Structure formats: C-alpha cells, structure tokens
Structure 1
Amino acid sequence: MKIDILSLFPAMFEGVFGESILKKAAEKGAVEYAVTDFRQFANNRHNSVDDYPYGGGAGMVLKPEPIFNAVNHLKKEAESAPRVILMCPQGERFNQKKAEELSKEEHLIFICGHYEGYDERIRDHLITDEISIGDFVLTGGELGAMVVTDSVVRLLPEVLGNDQSAVKDSYSSGLLEHPHYTRPANYEGMTVPDILLSGNHAKIDEWRMKESLRRTYTRRPDLLKEINLTDEQKRWIDEFKNTIE
C-alpha cells in the first residue's frame, strides 16, 4: 500500500511513522509513506494556501489551487486510482468497518487541513471520502490522519506478528473484546478465572465469547443492533439483564 499525506506540517508525522507497528510495516514492505507539504503547490509569490472567505466571516479558508495541484501531481505518479480522503469533523464517522474497507486499497491520499475550513470545490470535485474521527474539532487534520493510518496499516497482511490479532480486536467481530489475563495466576489475592487455567479450549472459547458479549451489552449495547445474534447469545443477554436488574 502507498499512503500519501498532504499537510502543512510534515514533521508531525516523523515520530508516528518511525515507531512501533507503523515503522515495522514499512520495513516489511507492506506500506510506503510519503508526507508532502502542499504549500509548495501554491501558485503565488508568497506560497499562501489560504484566503478570506467570500461573504465575510471569521477565520481563513484553504484555497482550492494548492490542494488540486498536489493531488493531481500524486495521481500522475500513481499506479492505480487512489482514494482521496479529506479529514474533517463534518465527515463520515470512522469505525473498524471503514478501516477494513480502506485496508483493501492500494493507494490512499489524506488531505489534512487547517484554519477555518476548505473551499467547497475540494469536497465537490476532488475527494472520494470525507472522514471524521469523532464529534469534536482539532487544530488540523494531521492527528486524525495518523489515527486512520494506524488502524488501516495494522490490518495489512503480515504486519502484526499474529494474523489473528486484528481479527479478534474489539469491533472486528462487531463486539468488544473479552477480558485478558496473564501470569501470575494470583496477584496479591486477585486471581485469574479458573476456566482460563483449565486447558479446555472449547470451554475457554465459550467463556471468551460470553464475556465479549457481556462487555458489549454493558458498555456499548448500541453495537448489538448490527449483529445477528444466535439463540445462545440471546439467552446470555437475558441472563445479563437479570443479573444487572
């Protein structure tokens, strides 16, 4: 996968792309990152990328020319048609399903804006996706692009040490992940559930599924609306209801 980032502050990405899983993914050849300062694509003597909004109002708006020029430049060098993603609080709420969708692409271009907003022609004629990481406003789109990149890259083949890790993550199955325990089995009187020490993998799998469902029901019951529950899972939920009530 090729990931291009268009940002006025490329240095922000150095630490993120140079550490942990994102760094290892690049070293394995699973992904290639490139961060471009789109100010260099401005067609004016001062390389300005923003201007006052027509009609008046507070703040500055990103001009269309630098963004269009930068994206078109990247497209000319692309081997396949890229997804062009605008990071914006008005966009589609990002989730695991979207991460899985984007992980199947060969080329992603992220546009990270600053100031008051974007010239609307960028939205109307250039992008393929508009993504928000939550209902709040950040100084710019850089942090959002980092979040989306991390969640996408870890889904690429052979990036994680265990291919099942991403499959079993919270939200990948539609449910929150079950509790985890490790050594020691007894820490200052706080013990690991006996079932996890039993060696009975069928029972352990059942326990994990039940606890995953319990955690989802108690913390994010809204997620259950998107899942086709089995009869057994429905019985478990009735059990949870009786316990909580």
Structure 2
Amino acid sequence: MTYRYDVITLFPEMFGVLTTCGVTRRAHERGIWQLQTWNPRQFASDRYKTIDDRPYGGGPGMVMLAQPLAQAIDAAQHDQRVAGLPAGRVIYLSPQGRRLDHARVVSLLAEPSLVLLCGRYEGVDERLLNTVVDEEISLGDFVLSGGEIAAMALLDALIRQMPDVLNDAASAAQDSFADVTTGGLLDCPHYTRPEVYAGQAVPPVLLSGNHADIARWRRQQALLSTLSKRPDILARAREAGQLTQADERFLALQSSAIKPNP
C-alpha cells in the first residue's frame, strides 16, 4: 500500500525536510509514501495573488480567504482521484482541534490519502471550515505561527508507523504510548556504550543476560516513569484493567517516594 499526502501551504519548501532527511526520506525514496504540496497563491483570483484580507468586525491580523484554499483543496483531491486513490479527508491543523495522540495516528493509517490544510495569520474563513474541512487536529494547547510544523509532526508520526519503514518493526510497537499491551505506558530508560558515563553506570540487570529479569526491570521502569511524568496515563491504564497484580504491588511500594510532576 502506498500512502499519499497532499498539503495546502504557503510555504511548501518547509516540507522538504521530510523527503530529504532520516527515515521519512528513505521511506519516500522507496515509494511507501508520496507528498504533493499546493500553494493557495496559485489559485488566487487577482493579479496580486492575494490570499488574505482584514477580518469583518475589525480586530488584529488577517484572515485567509476561503476561495483560494477551497480551489487548492479541490485540485489536490482531483489529483488523488486521478492517481487511483480516494479523495482524502481534509484535516485542518489548528490549536482549536482535537489534540493528536497515538490512537488517532494509528486510525489515520487506515486512510491511503489525506489533505492537510495549514493555516496562517489569524486563521481561515470559518465558512471554509464549515464546508470542506472534515476534522481539526492540534498538537496541544499552544499557538504556532502556522500549521506547517504541526502537519510535519503528524506526517512524521504517520510515516514511522507504516510497515517496513523502521529497520526493526518492534521499535515503533514499543514506543511510548504505542504498546497497547502495556496500557500505553511511557517507554523505559535506554542505555548504550560506554558502561560508565559521567560517573553513572548502566544498571547491572541490563548486563546480566537474564531476559526475564530485564523484561521485569523494563516494565517496572516504565511504570515509574509514567507515574512520575504522566500519572494520567497510569490512571487510564488502571481503569482499563491493563495493570497486573505485580504492577500494583510494585507501585504500592514506590508511589510514596515519587512526587508527580505538577
């Protein structure tokens, strides 16, 4: 299966990092995923290539016009259909959207094509959102200068979950949030050479060769990390019945010594 992503953006050059660096580049070169960018200025109706205007009712900043964005989206979806793919759902990267998480990333992998809309300025005309946008996605409760960085983050998260992208498929399956068998806990700490660095030694259990002890230690460290950094995730795993009796006994011994982050 080949995935195709079309991005509506005023700054298509920003997305070059995905096709020229790291695992996303290698996957792109192997044809696992494809990228097409569309600059809404190409669809502007005046000779000045205007893509924004002042907001009705006054106020600071500018608002992106609906017409050039809508035509860019139409062109992207038409191109997807010509390529034999379904016209992709339109996702608007916005701080007002649903916060992106691993579960949503995985669910989006079921769709071979998507159209990502990157806003700028104060946002886009609300009527465009009402008529052509299927979903809004946010990286979190903060504001970026535009949707490009959020779109690249979403694409990177999608691509690394695709089959045969990573050298070891277990790498993605064992990421923080990813391993549903553990309740989506944070990942355990990792170590590599040298055995001693900055006065800190690698935990002896990792050098023991005892795989059962190593697995137990990693599970316990994942529990500790989640308890300390993201107790909300630990609570969800407990509510879902994904913590074992051994997990609960370990946490009962440790929780009094751990001060959760505010």
Shorter-chain TM band: over 0.9
Question: Is 1:149 paired with 2:155?
Answer: yes
Distance 1:188 1:9, change over 3 A: closer
CA shift for structure 1 position 15? 2.8
* Contact 2:87/2:114 (8 A) holds in 1: no
CA shift for structure 1 position 189? 4.2
Matched ranges for 1:69-218 at <5 A: 69-78=71-80, 79-173=85-179, 174-187=184-197, 189-218=199-228
Structure-2 separation of matches of 1:48 and 1:142: 20
Structure-1 separation of matches of 2:175 and 2:227: 17
Structure-2 separation of matches of 1:185 and 1:69: 58
Letter in 1 for 2:231: P
Structure-1 separation of matches of 2:104 and 2:253: 32
Structure-2 separation of matches of 1:145 and 1:70: 16
Structure-1 separation of matches of 2:123 and 2:92: 11
CA shift for structure 1 position 188? 5.6
Equivalent pairs counted in the alignment come to 245
Q: State which of 8, 11, 32 in structure 2 corresponds to 1:9.
A: 11
SS at match of 1:159: coil
* Contact 2:38/2:76 (8 A) holds in 1: no
1:32-54 deviation digits (Å, cap 9, x = unpaired):
11112111112223221111112
Scaled by the length of structure 2, the TM-score of the pair is: 0.89
Gaps of 5+ in 1: none
Q: Name whichever of 6-15 and 235-244 sits farther off.
A: 235-244
Structure-1 separation of matches of 2:21 and 2:45: 35
Q: State which of 228, 231, 234 in structure 2 corresponds to 1:224.
A: 234
Structure-2 separation of matches of 1:213 and 1:9: 42
1:22-69 deviation digits (Å, cap 9, x = unpaired):
101101211011112111112223221111112222211111111111
* Contact 2:7/2:115 (8 A) holds in 1: yes
CA shift for structure 1 position 73? 1.4
1:137-180 deviation digits (Å, cap 9, x = unpaired):
11111111111111111101000110010111111131110011
Structure-1 separation of matches of 2:197 and 2:140: 37
Residue equivalent to 1:242: 256
Scaled by the length of structure 1, the TM-score of the pair is: 0.95
1:174-197 deviation digits (Å, cap 9, x = unpaired):
111001111222346421111111
Residue equivalent to 2:34: 32
CA shift for structure 1 position 242? 3.3
Structure-2 separation of matches of 1:201 and 1:194: 13
SS at match of 2:190: coil
Residue equivalent to 2:56: 54
Gaps of 5+ in 2: none
CA shift for structure 1 position 21? 1.2
